[in-house]
Amino acid sequence: MALTHNFSKGIDWIGDPTGETPLVKHRFISKGGSDATPNGLDPSTPYLTIGAALNAGAAFDVYIIGSGVYNEVLLNTDDSILKGDGLVYIVGDSVNKFANGTSDDTELHDLYIKNYPNFFDITGRRSEFHNCLLENTTITTFNAADVTMFDCKLINCTVQAPYSFRAYRSNLFNTNVNATHANASQELIFNSTYLDSNCNITYNDNGGVFNYSYNNNEGVLVGIPTIDVGNISADPLFKGNPLLKEFAVELTSPNIGAGDSGVTIGKLQTGSLQNVDSPNFGSALGVVGNTQFTAGELEKVNAGVVGERTSTVIDLGKIYTSPTPDILGDVDYLNNVPYKNGITNPSHLNIEARYSLDNVVFTSYKPFKCNSPLYLDSSGFSTGEADFNWGDVVAQKMRYVEIKVTLPITYTEG
């Protein structure tokens, strides 16, 4: 039986392998949903907007947000956990905050946050960011609030924490970032990359314990850390331009294995780029070709015309298990493109892939959900197929991959 949604998170896949039973206190949001007669506790009848779901929610509910662009401001995010399921953009109007007032006990996971003059104020308690990308955004804390960031990337951002109690930063990538962490009793900046001289980090003017360890820093530090271990200052050797969200580094990057316990500083990855904007385009691991759509192909498709682009064979350099294909740069065309199978949770593009171990015998093309690993389940369904079971994931080994990106006929300019 085909699913009536394609949410991978917030579902009780173990208790109900059909995937139709949600976890308790989880609410669903989708560009294919509705705020008129919603039942956001059911993944098949999601809300259309984050604001409507938050208004209906209770303390410490978890909100699962499907792929798309969400232009929302002045919400109440207190005691909430927001998780992106796919490629999720939360884009501001460059004037208003995302949260109206404070954001006590807020967690954000797997989100691309952009264009907020102050994303939200953190007052009195904690807020956490996990695996988020923040761009052109400011975050402010007051009154001994804690703000923690794990596995995040910040571009052209400001973090103002003049009265923070604790500040934890782990596995970050930063470029053109100004961060002030003053009057904190305990701070930890760990396994992070401060890429350029435009980064300015100011901390600890009251004698608190500051642990600045295993970072690659080319920016400006103001203050002397209490604990200073394993830090370096070296070019990370990016293959492309990080400002274009091209975060792959060369195999010889000094960040690789230089973090605590041998992890990679900044959680950067080696990989192949196929993007004509990359200065190294065509040189990474033997990759040549172009998977970038032109404006006419991508942003506007005439009736009955399908825009499609297929990569050349991508040599990953060694055998990987279910890598994740990423789309580089800003993706402002997500709102009106339905998912391949027309199920409730829409997506932005149809992503298909085929792969092999030896560059001779490839699998057939299968549809995959963007921003997710290339998994099959034990029945052979891929993540982009309606029958895929996220509770029955089977990893796939591959060295050579071809990616096909298609805009559906039903696309309309948004």
H or E segment at 50?
Answer: helix 50-56
Distance CA 347, CA 337 (A): 6
What pLDDT band is residue 78 in, cutting at 50, 70 and 90?
confident
Helices (H), 163-302: 295-298
Q: pLDDT digits over 262-312, tens only?
A: 999 998 888 777 655 444 333 333 333 344 444 444 443 444 555 667 777
Per-chain mean pLDDT for the chain: 80
Tokens 């402002």 belong to: 332
Q: Which long-range contacts (CB under 8 A, 24 or more apart) does 15-23 make?
A: 17/389, 17/391, 17/392, 19/389, 19/390, 19/391, 20/44, 23/62
Q: How far is the first Cα of the chain from the last one, in angstroms, to the nearest whole number?
A: 33
CB neighbour list of residue 24: distance below 8 Å, 6 or more residues apart:
none
How far apart CA 82 and CA 72 sit, in angstroms, is 14
Give residue for tokens 């290339």: 374
pLDDT digits (tens, 9 = 90+) for 123-153: 667 788 999 999 999 988 776 567 788 999 9
The percent of residues above 70 in pLDDT, for the chain, comes to: 78
Rounded CA separation 142/161 (Å)? 7
pTM: 0.89
By CB neighbour count within 10 A (0-12 exposed, 13-18 middle, 19+ buried), where does 358 fall?
A: exposed
d(CA 91, CA 334) in angstroms, rounded, equals 12
- Please determine, for residue 61, whether its predicted confidence score (pLDDT) is greater than 90: yes
Split at pLDDT 50, 70, 90, the class of 15 is very high
Angstrom distance (rounded) from CA 40 to CA 64: 10
